[in-house]
Structure 1
Amino acid sequence: MLFLVLALVQPACAGLYTDSCGMVWTDTCVPFERDNETAYYEELAASFAPIADNLTEAPDLGNLSWSDAFSEMCTYMEERYAFTEWRGVDWDLLYATYAPGIADAEKSQDAAAYYRTLREFASAIPDGHVIILSPDDFGAKYADIGGGYGFAVARLDSGEVIATYVADGSDAEKAGIRFGDEVVSWNGRPVGEAIDATSIIWAPIKPSTTEGILLQKQRFLTRAPVGAGVTVGIAAPEDSAPRTVNLTAAEDGYDTLTRTSIFLGREANDVEAGTGAELKAMISNDTVTCRTLSGGIVYIAIYEEAYDAYQPFRAAVKDAIAKDAPGIVIDLRFNRGGDDNLGSALAAWFVDRPVFYEYGTSYDPGTGEFPVLWESWTQPRPDRYMGPVAVLVSPYTISTGEGLPKVFAGSGTGAIVSWYGTNGAFGIVSPGPVLPPRDHDSLPGGRVAR
């Protein structure tokens, strides 16, 4: 959500502007019901009026040395990152940890090592909104994880780690690994320790929660440089001896990652996609899709919290009401976020009482503080749907995509259905410094208290 809007004029608006709390959106449905996108974005701009004079663009560090740019970036992020305390970020420790790698890469002019270190730095901050964006990985990703061992694993609630996929014709299959086999060790160490030590810097959608991080670590355990070897310990069935299997990582087009994607239950190469927009394109060209399931249940998938999502969503809900649909399924399993108020507005069609949605803040460079710029409320629609509602989520439900489930979790309206939780990345994303060779980083420049 790029909300660094510099408009200074405060127009007549659906929200109520006050000096104490900024813009008060007493009913977040109003600007979407009005169906005037231009007016709405003017109102969003007006909410930044208290700090607009102090807003500046992120610095362009592209002409600095790699080490100097990294130092400047860390200073910038320490000043402006919205969740330092909440996420437990130690900026001095981060700089001390990764600055030597940047310096070594600079000395040898190793662009792959430089980019890899930047990814490691961003990965150390448990926030899906802190990312490094670059059109080129300089071959680092393929060098690190271009090979696969021909099988994938998952950890059960019991703590057991089992093989969940074995590729046909792979060395793993030839070595006798089968679906459901328990993996107990990895290169001589307990497999749980190996999973914990696995890097996930190449995860395309960066997780923000402990659960999401663990999920990605399991996926990347069985990736390695092409040609790398591993010794895998397989638990013994009853009345037989345990065994070890030696495997060599082979180039497979990231097959084990494609096969273990939870991307709406479809096989999707979510590693070769570089952005959320590219991932969305694998699923749908639409922002909202609707259909009727067996028994008359209405299914509504929302892929992005964009302004133009509200009207088709509203139409689908009203159609469900008119047809007395026995239930509605709202699919947010790949909702990459967007407009904060939209999540609140969508929830308004199902709640039975007003629900506080959020306070929004943004960093003010003039004061060094994060003033409250707006307050939002979810107001129940007078013609709301009152039947059962199921909301589907996944770790690819990100940012504002988590807003509607948040309202449901707090209000008790509707059931949230998922194997795993949402991404856990709340925040107002702003572009960070441009880095040499003019890569970009991104960080939350504002925060929302929900």
Structure 2
Amino acid sequence: MHYFLEMFRNPTVLLGYGILLYTFIMVLLRQKAEVKGHKVLYRIALFLPLAAVLVHCCFFWLPGHRFVHKIVPDGDSFRAVRWPLNLKLYPHLYAAALLPLILLLPLRKKLLRVLISCVLCIALGYCALFQQFDLFMYSKLHNYTRLSWSEGFRRTVADMRKEYVLGDWKQIDYDLLLETYLPQVRAAEQANDPAAFGALLSDFTYRFYDQHVTVNMNGDDSRGTKDLLAGNDYGLTLFTLTDGETIAVLVSEDGDAYANGIRNGTVITAWDGVPVREAAASVACIYPNYRMQFAVRENEDIYRPLFLSGKGGDTVRVTYLDEDGAEQTVSLSSSGSARLRLSMAITDLKHDWLDTENFGTKMISDTCGYLRIIDEEYQKIPDYIAYLRKGYYPRLTNDINQKLEQLKAQGMETLVIDLRNNNGGLHVIGGAVCSLFTEEKRFLMYGGQRSGNTFRGIIRYDFFPDGRWKDLPVVVLVNQATMSAGDSTALFLGQNENVTLMGITASSGVTQSIGGICYLSGSFSVRYPVYPILGEDNLPMIDTDASRENRIPLDHVIPVDKDAALRIFSQESDDETDDYELEYAMQYLQSANP
């Protein structure tokens, strides 16, 4: 299998599977070692895996060092403790190295020895299953934490040139990126300015237009970077309605905009002397947030006015229509960073405070059911087994069917499946859910291989059709933060005739498999996908190419008029029950199925 061939080029992967094989052999040799008088030598040999992982730790720490913060219980609350990065990345590898020591137990009875050997084999199987995904997730790991920012950045670009799976598909010009950003990184390094470095990494990763290409940072580095990129707070946020009109939202009553006559819903016509639509079109939405790299151009167009709201100097000239429809131009002063205002606006637009049970269900009207999928993870061990079985997951299909049967007993005639802010996971989870809505066995995806600018499908995954709900009218809600396996779930569901794909924005347009990560000094790291997920045509299944054109078009775009915008961006709109998109979906189903 190509994934394993790729992974086995990594010494950590060789070590991990070598330890598992070695331990299994030691289980088989135990009785023979005791009979032939090699007991002492055998016992010494049991410590070799532990010695090997200690050497691994040394080699991990030689090129760099890294701690992460892990949240642990502390009485009635929680606290953060520093935790070695390698223990976070490879817990099952290190656990497997301890397993041979179980064979040191002085068990005289044959039954106990056999029992311990069986338990050890089961533990080995458990570690093998989870270690596979540990090593897969971090199979292309590079530790540059002891290097300068500029040298770490240079090596990161070189690594991505070799490993980033969509470099040719998206026509990435690595030479231009290095020429553009390396001098700026050196300047940030000389100034010892983490916020500037974080902003440059955010700008750099933005240029890949791939939500899987991200910069991660912690604490003060993150806040400083966001302060720099969010711009200035002038007491309002901009949003463009479906009819093309741009209005003010989230207007602060104690701010300069309000004092100058601008209210929520006021039409804005120009920003710093430039027509507002023209000004917004030139804005790049760059922000260190996991779901803010825009693969789909039309999605970024929706967000551009939010980012325009922070563009300007100490003052900005804003032209708006007063109550009589006459244009007024005022000068607004900055009150500081727009970080909190921009973060609030993004959260409002994504409706990102939903905190419900994954695969949770409920009735949201007398006849409309609701299924919420936060990510494509259900039960860890069965999930991984389904992945190894190439998508066959009857347990999950039956569990979801039972939930839907319970809703039907309460009067369900239509269903909303909410994929907004779906983080992704395993694609086969979405396939198992989608199988309930089709009777046709069809292609799900290929796990693929990349060679230069060509792709080849290697491992085929299929739908295993069930079809018990193929006639149920369904709306699937998505947004910009529906990504990765969430994206593929939207694609799979949308292929069924009884399903309408709907949202204010389309889903994110990314679905390749992650595995690349470069750790830089400070709290910074850059992540990127390295393994192809392909469609039946042996091309990337969902990801946009250099055109950034959406490949999962919505069946129905949810319109946003002034009243809807004021609901979405209401200061009190974090009430989960006030959900404009969900209400629109219910009304759509009701009108389409009277």
Regarding TM over 0.5, the answer is: yes
Post-superposition Cα deviations, 1:248-304, rounded to whole Å, max 9, x if no partner, equal: 122477135414534564xx6xxxxxxxxxxxxx43263232112222422111111
> Given the superposition, is the C-alpha separation of residues 369 and 79 from structure 1 closer, same or farther in structure 2, using an over 3 Å criterion?
farther
2:254 aligned partner: 169
SS of 2:430's equivalent? helix
- Is residue 230 of structure 2 the alignment partner of residue 140 of structure 1? no
- Is residue 281 of structure 2 the alignment partner of residue 202 of structure 1? no
Post-superposition Cα deviations, 1:342-370, rounded to whole Å, max 9, x if no partner, equal: 11111111123123221122568xx9986
> Given the superposition, is the C-alpha separation of residues 319 and 448 from structure 1 closer, same or farther in structure 2, using an over 3 Å criterion?
same
Matched length? 400
Kept in 1, the 8 Å contact 2:512–2:532? The answer is yes
Q: CA deviation at 1:89?
A: 1.7
How far apart, in 1, do the equivalents of 2:533 and 2:127 lie? Answer: 18
- Is residue 467 of structure 2 the alignment partner of residue 396 of structure 1? no
State the AA in 1 paired with 2:497: G
> Given the superposition, is the C-alpha separation of residues 229 and 48 from structure 1 closer, same or farther in structure 2, using an over 3 Å criterion?
closer
Give 1:228's match in structure 2, choosing from 289, 298, 314.
Answer: 314
- Is residue 423 of structure 2 the alignment partner of residue 336 of structure 1? yes
Kept in 2, the 8 Å contact 1:119–1:201? The answer is yes
- Is residue 181 of structure 2 the alignment partner of residue 98 of structure 1? yes
Q: Which of structures 1 and 2 has the larger relative contact order (alpha carbons within 8 angstroms, sep 6+)?
A: 1
SS of 2:165's equivalent? coil
SS of 2:507's equivalent? coil
Kept in 1, the 8 Å contact 2:437–2:496? The answer is no
How far apart, in 1, do the equivalents of 2:302 and 2:269 lie? Answer: 18
SS of 1:423's equivalent? coil
SS of 2:318's equivalent? strand
How far apart, in 2, do the equivalents of 1:114 and 1:8 lie? Answer: 38
Residue correspondence of structure 1 range 131-280 to structure 2 within 5 A: 131-136=214-219, 138=221, 139-145=224-230, 147-202=232-287, 204=289, 205-206=291-292, 207-223=294-310, 228-235=314-321, 241-251=326-336, 254-255=340-341, 257-259=343-345, 261-262=347-348, 265=351
Post-superposition Cα deviations, 1:176-212, rounded to whole Å, max 9, x if no partner, equal: 1133333222112222232133342225222321122
Post-superposition Cα deviations, 1:354-412, rounded to whole Å, max 9, x if no partner, equal: 23221122568xx9986534211112215445311111111111111122220233333
Kept in 1, the 8 Å contact 2:321–2:328? The answer is yes
SS of 1:374's equivalent? strand
1:305 aligned partner: 376
Kept in 2, the 8 Å contact 1:115–1:137? The answer is no
Kept in 1, the 8 Å contact 2:480–2:505? The answer is yes
Q: CA deviation at 1:429?
A: 1.2
Residue correspondence of structure 1 range 61-72 to structure 2 within 5 A: 61-72=144-155
1:295 aligned partner: 366
Give 2:193's match in structure 1, choosing from 99, 110, 113.
Answer: 110
How far apart, in 1, do the equivalents of 2:229 and 2:196 lie? Answer: 11
1:326 aligned partner: 413
Kept in 2, the 8 Å contact 1:370–1:446? The answer is no
Indicate the RMSD between aligned Cα atoms, in angstroms.
3.6
- Using the aligned pairs only, state the percent identity: 24
SS of 2:370's equivalent? strand
- Is residue 176 of structure 2 the alignment partner of residue 74 of structure 1? no
How far apart, in 2, do the equivalents of 1:203 and 1:67 lie? Answer: 19
Post-superposition Cα deviations, 1:305-334, rounded to whole Å, max 9, x if no partner, equal: 113394753431243456663122111112
> Given the superposition, is the C-alpha separation of residues 199 and 48 from structure 1 closer, same or farther in structure 2, using an over 3 Å criterion?
closer
Can you give the 5+ residue segments of structure 1 that lack an aligned partner in the other structure?
10-37, 269-281
SS of 2:300's equivalent? helix
How far apart, in 1, do the equivalents of 2:409 and 2:465 lie? Answer: 18
Kept in 1, the 8 Å contact 2:484–2:511? The answer is yes
Give 2:206's match in structure 1, choosing from 123, 130, 154.
Answer: 123
Give 2:167's match in structure 1, choosing from 84, 94, 98.
Answer: 84
SS of 1:200's equivalent? coil
Q: TM-score, normalised by structure 1?
A: 0.78
How far apart, in 1, do the equivalents of 2:354 and 2:431 lie? Answer: 24
Query: More helix per residue: 1 or 2?
Result: 2
1:283 aligned partner: 354
> Given the superposition, is the C-alpha separation of residues 233 and 312 from structure 1 closer, same or farther in structure 2, using an over 3 Å criterion?
farther
How far apart, in 2, do the equivalents of 1:418 and 1:299 lie? Answer: 16
**Highest CA radius of gyration, 1 or 2?**
2
